């Protein structure tokens, strides 16, 4: 069994907000260790400018992926027209420079422990590092949860380099 813990939520929040110097100071990964095993904490500091220094014309950006399940609680699915309206109303006004949507098949374990599979959409956003962008993404997640009665929208963030 593998467990990942963020021991300092503030540090995680700052990463999602995309500050220029990101410190990941308290990420710990633990497995079923015996009592004599030590769980070490890792400390990493990433400078976005250095990250992209070897890629011609690249600039540091935040990459956020949002995973949208399409199954509604009543058994129907969010159809393509509904999802497009959601993109037009919630995503495009917040990220008018562009984004990518990929259709997929997802799987997750629900609160009861049952494995569920459903069609899904993956939204990929690349944007300049800015704290306000994180707030906009949270607004998108909240709007989807409310509009389609979802339990959650998975969010994954990381620092990337992009050259256009």
- List, for residues 39-66, the tens digit of each pLDDT value: 333 335 667 668 888 889 999 999 999 9
Percent of the chain with pLDDT over 90: 57
Question: Residues of 4-20 as b/e, b for ≥16 C-beta within 10 angstroms?
Answer: eeeeeeeeeebbbbbee
Residue 113 has pLDDT above 80, yes or no: yes
How many Cα atoms occupy the beta-carbon half-sphere of 33 within 13 Å? 10
Give the mean model confidence (pLDDT) for residues 100-121: 93
Give me the phi and psi of 69, to 5 degrees please. -75, 145
Residue 83 has a pLDDT of: 98
Residue 80 has a pLDDT of: 97
| Residue 55 CB-density burial (10 A; 0-12 exposed, 13-18 middle, 19+ buried) | exposed
Could you give the strand order of the β-sheet that contains 100-109, starting from the edge strand earlier in sequence? 100-109, 115-128, 59-69, 154-162
| Dist CA 125 CA 138 (whole Å) | 13
| Dist CA 82 CA 123 (whole Å) | 15
């Amino acid at each position: 069994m593998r467990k990942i813990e963020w021991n300092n939520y503030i540090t995680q929040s700052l990463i999602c907000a995309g500050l220029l110097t990101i410190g990941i100071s308290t990420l710990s990964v633990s497995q079923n260790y015996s009592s004599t095993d030590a769980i070490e904490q890792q400390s990493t500091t990433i400078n976005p400018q250095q990250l992209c220094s070897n890629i011609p014309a690249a600039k540091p950006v935040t990459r956020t992926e949002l995973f949208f399940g399409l199954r509604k609680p009543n058994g129907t699915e969010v159809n393509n027209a509904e999802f497009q309206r959601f993109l037009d109303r919630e995503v495009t006004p917040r990220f008018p420079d562009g984004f990518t949507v990929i259709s997929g098949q997802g799987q997750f374990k629900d609160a009861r422990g049952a494995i569920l599979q459903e069609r899904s959409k993956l939204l990929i956003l690349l944007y300049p590092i800015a704290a306000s962008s994180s707030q906009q993404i949270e607004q998108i997640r909240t709007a989807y949860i409310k509009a389609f009665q979802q339990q959650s929208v998975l969010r994954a963030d990381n620092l990337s380099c992009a050259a256009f």
